[in-house]
Amino acid sequence: MNNRLLTVAALIAACQFNSAHAEQQTLTFVSWGGSTQDAQEQAWAVPFERETGIRIKQAGPTDYDSFRKMVESGDVTWDVVDVEADFALRAGREGLLEPLDLKQVAQRQIDPRFVTIYGVGSFYFSFILGYNTQALSETPSGWAALFDLERHPGKRALYKWPSPGVLEMALLADGVAPEALYPLDLDRAFRKLDTIKKDIVWWGSGDQSQQLLASGQASLGMFWNGRVSALQREGASVGIDWQQNLVTGDFLVIPRGTRNKDAAKRFLGHATSAAAQADFAMRSGYAPVNLGSAALIPAQLTKELPSAHEAGQITLNFKYWSRNGAAISKRWYAWQEQ
């Protein structure tokens, strides 16, 4: 009897210890800032903290050089990081990431485009043609409109980093068929971009892109759909053209060497659940990667999501970029500096 009481007491003590340990534990979540990270915090971090007692510290923005240096030095202070799809694939091959427990992230419920052994989708979105309705007298239509300076005058806002999107957009505007995009014809893409180079204003963050478009500093450009939708909800004079919207996505990854690997995996399982993904989609305007989330989102809100604009939609080739991105980057930066 005494042994039995001792065993029960030991179990209670162990549970209390584990609970206290969880309450003390902190995960550092790194993302891109702005309205997107705000939505991630409210949809994922706050409920996770409430359910587990594990605190989520927000940090950022995501920086790939810092990511690499951190892992290579062995001094890893980030636990879960939101990265672009091509970086997730490349970093996995290079040994920079912890492998995931795919059962924990409900692999069968995740859109297969957005799950690998080293990363699971955070959300997916489209690059769309966004425009300022007050800056233009005529509504632009299709990517070719972005290169038509006579009919649609003004600056063009484009994403400044070398990643999937801008080069494909230039090729589509130049008449390349979607099925013939890859391998990318870099010569042709840069020749097309040359025609508007002096009129390009570059944006590197979602907040910056919103400021450029809402202010009219750029009359049109290439934007993340959720950022333009957010401006529309705020009453800004902006519009979206969904023709040939270009789908890409972010992935959640765990840097190799994190001291909080198990808790980080647990957070990924929570963040990619149907309910958490639906909550994030409603807050952000970006599409959920969990296939069960759509049923949880009001029909009116689904109209703003890329999943409602699949006609003519093109999914960018993450694998191509993960293997060719380094070489493309060198040419990209050299062209920008010319």
pLDDT at res. 285? 86
Residues 12 and 75 reside in one and the same domain? yes
226 and 333 belong to one structural domain: yes
Query: Do 273 and 194 belong together in one domain?
Result: no
Strand partners, 55: 26
Please indicate, yes or no, whether residues 90 and 171 belong to a single structural domain of this protein.
no
Residue 130 sits in the same domain as residue 96: no
CB-based contacts of 162, cutoff 8 Å, min separation 6: 325, 328, 329, 332, 333
Residue 1: its H or E element: none
Claim to verify: residue 37 and residue 144 sit in the same structural domain: no
Q: Are residue 243 and residue 257 in the same domain, yes or no?
A: no
CA distances, 44 to each of 38, 51, 280 (Å): 10, 11, 8
Please check whether residues 318 and 304 belong to one and the same domain: no
The pLDDT tens digits along the chain (338 residues) read: 444 444 444 444 444 444 444 456 999 999 988 888 999 999 999 999 999 999 999 999 999 999 999 999 999 999 999 999 999 999 999 999 999 987 777 667 999 999 999 999 999 999 999 999 999 999 999 999 999 999 999 999 999 999 999 999 999 999 999 999 999 999 999 999 999 999 999 999 888 999 999 999 999 999 999 889 989 999 999 999 999 999 999 999 999 999 999 999 999 999 999 999 999 999 988 999 999 999 999 998 888 899 999 999 999 999 999 999 999 999 999 999 99
User: Residue 107: its pLDDT value, please?
Assistant: 67
Other CB atoms closer than 10 Å to residue 137's CB: what's the count? 9
Same domain, 94 and 185: no
The residue segments making up the domain with residue 217 are 125-248+311-337
**pLDDT for res 303:** 87
Question: Tell me, what's the pLDDT at 22?
Answer: 44
The structural domain count of the chain equals: 2
285 phi/psi in degrees, rounded to 5: 85, 5
pLDDT of residue 43: 98
Looking at residue 108, its pLDDT comes to 76
What pLDDT is recorded for position 121? 96
CATH number at residue 64: 3.40.190.10
Shortest CA distance to 61 belongs to which of 261, 255, 259, 204?
204
- Residues 50 and 160 placed together within one structural domain of the fold: no
Burial 143-160 (b: 16+ CB within 10 A, else e): bbbbbbeeebebbbbbbb
Q: What is the pLDDT of residues 100-144, one digit of tens each?
A: 987 777 667 999 999 999 999 999 999 999 999 999 999 999 999
Predicted pLDDT of residue 151 = 97
Q: Are residues 74 and 24 in the same domain?
A: yes
Does 103 share its domain with 191? Answer: no
Strands (E), the chain: 26-30, 55-59, 80-84, 115-116, 119-132, 155-159, 200-203, 218-224, 238-253, 314-315
CA dist., res. 228 & res. 256, Å (int): 35
Give residues with Cβ within 8 angstroms of 80, minimum separation 6. 27, 28, 29, 30, 252, 253, 254, 264, 267, 268, 271
